[in-house]
Amino acid sequence: MKVFVDGKYYDEDKAKISVFDHGLLYGDGVFEGIRAYNGRVFRLKEHIDRLFYSAKAIMLDIPMKHEELVKATVETCRRNKIKDGYIRLVVTRGKGTLGLSPFRCPKGSVIIIAGKIQLYPPALYKKGMEIITVATTRNLHNAVNPAIKSLNYLNNILAKIEALNVGKEEALMLNSDGYVAECTGDNVFIVKGDKIFTPPLYAGALYGITRGVAIEVCESAGWKVEETNLTRYDLYNADECFLTGTGAEIIPVVNIDGRKIGTGRPGKLSKKLIKEYHKLTNSTGEPI
């Protein structure tokens, strides 16, 4: 595997950063997870846009321009002969001192890794996923804003641990007001009657790229999507539920906290949405 680090390509075992990099020492940095399908990088511009938004929020200067990151991402895929795969694009604060001050890091570092990912077992996409609500609350907007896709993912990891400890692959996270925010790595949607609902971004949800694509696909098919605060009661009594994320794509949820959702099997709308999503991912994107 060839890994891009600050303008050069290294073999996997020689790709390194300093032990004084603030991304390692303090989780000070931002990242994007991106997918490639059928020889194209899907929604690359949108991912890099979000990377810059996250960086701006933490006052991190990315030492490359938008178009340079596009070219470097595609070239990393090309050098690794990626046709269908996963790309991790990371920008750290860079090498600094042992103190917290980010202003002692002269220059950020850019890392691009292109490989494979399997977030959930394939069988779950056919039979649906069972999830639980966990005690770990989603970060507050005035703490580490959930809109910032930062290298500090401990909030999500702690929730993931709670789920894995009881044999579940994913955890539902609530915000400080008790409303549904999102899962550890995915946005949440429910279907009730002829409408689709998803938590608003201010509820603590990431500005998901796949979330946005799912909304586009739904609306183009004539399905109305509403952003509204949701409680666990709303999810328990939904006709269908599904999650969206770059790594997860779109995956149905059939049980939450021991409550069967709908028929207890992936619903018709969820299955149709998955099919339409795959059509889109396999036909659009930045050519590799």
pTM of the model: 0.95
Q: Can you tell me the distance from the alpha carbon of 119 to that of 117, in angstroms, rounded to the nearest whole number?
A: 6
Digit-coded pLDDT (tens) for 102-135: 999 999 999 999 999 888 888 999 999 999 999 9
Positions of the chain with pLDDT under 70: none
Q: Can you tell me the distance from the alpha carbon of 55 to that of 31, in angstroms, rounded to the nearest whole number?
A: 9
Query: What is the pLDDT, as a whole number, of residue 121?
Result: 87
Q: Can you tell me the distance from the alpha carbon of 280 to that of 65, in angstroms, rounded to the nearest whole number?
A: 27
Q: Can you tell me the distance from the alpha carbon of 171 to that of 194, in angstroms, rounded to the nearest whole number?
A: 26
CA angle 131, 209, 114 (to 5 degrees): 90
Report the sign of the C-alpha dihedral through residues 11, 13, 19, 24, in that order: positive
| Catalytic-residue membership of 149 | yes
Digit-coded pLDDT (tens) for 168-187: 999 999 999 999 999 999 99
Could you say which of 149, 192, 224, 275 is catalytic? Answer: 149
Instruction: Determine the 3-state secondary structure of 173 from DSSP.
Output: strand
Query: What is the pLDDT, as a whole number, of residue 58?
Result: 98
Contacts of 99 (CB under 8 A, 6+ apart): none
**Domains present along the chain, CATH in parentheses:** 2-115 (3.30.470.10), 123-281 (3.20.10.10)
Q: Can you tell me the distance from the alpha carbon of 142 to that of 57, in angstroms, rounded to the nearest whole number?
A: 12
Query: What is the pLDDT, as a whole number, of residue 119?
Result: 80
Query: What is the pLDDT, as a whole number, of residue 117?
Result: 84
Report the sign of the C-alpha dihedral through residues 200, 201, 205, 211, in that order: positive
